Amino acid sequence: MAPRILLARHGQTEWSLSGKHTGRTDIPLLDEGRRGAKLLGERLHREPWDALPGVEVRTSPLVRAKETCELAGFGDRATTWDALMEFHYGAYEGMTPDEIKAGRPGWLIWRDGVPEGETLAEVGARADEVVEWARSADRDVLIFAHGHILRVIGARWLGLDVSFASRIRLDPTSLSILGWAYGAPAIERWNDTGHLA
């Protein structure tokens, strides 16, 4: 079996609801986020997933991802990993895109980056580390993390530049799967929130 990555974005938080860039600020889940995490877990514990026996689970150490992992029923199998932390937004932490653009018209994080935070190359290097780990053994992996780092992992899985992440949105508590097609890295499922309906 060729390894796949199952990506679970954390549940809704106050800042994700308002569109604020939430990097290293440790924001807890809202009740809606907790409910979504439980629904995601129920989905992954039913057919065809059957609780993903043999899958290796890792989570960002930030509370919103760890709690999503725990509520989904994978906390006892998970290892925390700093490589899965969200983009460090530096001076733009806690700001919405509109607030940033008011002082920097035309700004796009995937092209322009952030002052006093991580560079796009640094985020890409962390994503490459995750991709290399996922491909290192003959087993699937499940990771619980954050919107922007998961989008970068998606881009890097495909061998594309970090900027491709601008084209693949992720909603809170979504499920995505990176796998293979015709021997090449592929997106099997992306931004699936069917369990929330």
Is residue 146 annotated as a catalytic residue, yes or no?
no
pLDDT digits (tens, 9 = 90+) for 121-173: 999 999 999 999 999 989 999 999 999 999 999 999 999 999 999 999 999 99
Closest CA to 65 of 16, 138, 131: 16
Instruction: At 174, list the tokens.
Output: 């979504």
Is residue 86 annotated as a catalytic residue, yes or no?
yes
pLDDT digits (tens, 9 = 90+) for 21-51: 999 999 999 999 999 999 999 999 999 999 9
Instruction: At 128, list the tokens.
Output: 């490459």
**Percent of the chain at pLDDT exceeding 70:** 99
Pairing of strands 56-59, 78-80: parallel
Distance CA 117, CA 134 (A): 26
Distance CA 42, CA 150 (A): 22
Q: Pick the catalytic residue: 56, 67, 86, 118?
A: 86
Distance CA 119, CA 92 (A): 13
pLDDT number for residue 167: 96
Closest CA to 6 of 113, 145, 155: 145
- Please say if the pLDDT value at position 73 is more than 90: yes
Residues 6+ apart with CB under 8 A from 184: none
Record the pTM. 0.97
Distance CA 8, CA 5 (A): 10
Average pLDDT, the chain: 96
Q: At what angle do helices 147-157 and 120-134 cross, to 10 degrees?
A: 70
What homologous superfamily does CATH list for 5-15+29-84+120-196?
Phosphoglycerate mutase-like (3.40.50.1240)
- Please say if the pLDDT value at position 1 is more than 60: no
